[in-house]
Amino acid sequence: MKISEHLELAELTRSDSAKRNGILNIPKPEHLENLKKLADKVFEPIRNHFCKPIRISSGYRSAELNKITKGSSATSQHSTGEAIDIDMDFTDITNKEVFDYIKKNLSFDQLIWEFGTDKNPDWVHVSYESSGKQRKQILKAVKQDGKTHYINIS
């Protein structure tokens, strides 16, 4: 099922953890609508700007899948269809370039520089609040004492 011009639902629901644990990772109708907004407001503009396929390393996670996903919280926007993680390491586009493009050009709720170095994140988390009320929150995820902490970098 196509979510947008360049995005299939299967790309957003693919999960090795779901397969291993026998979890059906199928969005509810309201989550599907959120995914369509996210595709329209975030994914497609990135795809069109860079003119290359965009790799989503994590997209929709059902509540059941989210519970077993290491590092996720009960309030994760992945579970409402409002967030994606992008990892462009397989191309000549860096994750930093994607991060900077989103920061300067798109409306978003949260933009997170996920781990990595000061030069390039391991991946980019971006969310779009379905109500349209975007916080424009820019964070950096870091490990301290074995736990993930988020530092406001806006």
Residue 142 in this model has a pLDDT that exceeds 80: yes
Euclidean distance between CA atoms 39 and 105, whole angstroms: 15
Q: What is the count of structural domains for the chain?
A: 1
pLDDT in tens, 50-80: 999 999 999 999 999 988 887 667 689 999 9
- Which distant-in-sequence residues (6+ apart) come within 8 Å of 67 by Cβ? none
**What DSSP assignment string belongs to 52-65?**
S---EEE----HHH
Q: Do the Cβ atoms of 121 and 115 come closer than 8 Å?
A: yes
The per-residue pLDDT for 71 is 62
| CATH number for position 144 | 3.30.1380.10
pLDDT in tens, 80-134: 999 999 999 889 999 999 999 999 999 999 999 999 999 999 999 999 999 889 9
Which structure tokens are listed for 135?
């916080």
- Range 132-153 average pLDDT: 93
Residue span of the structural domain in which 43 resides: 2-152
Instruction: Identify the residue whose tokens are 């059941």.
Output: 64
- Give pTM, 2 decimals: 0.94
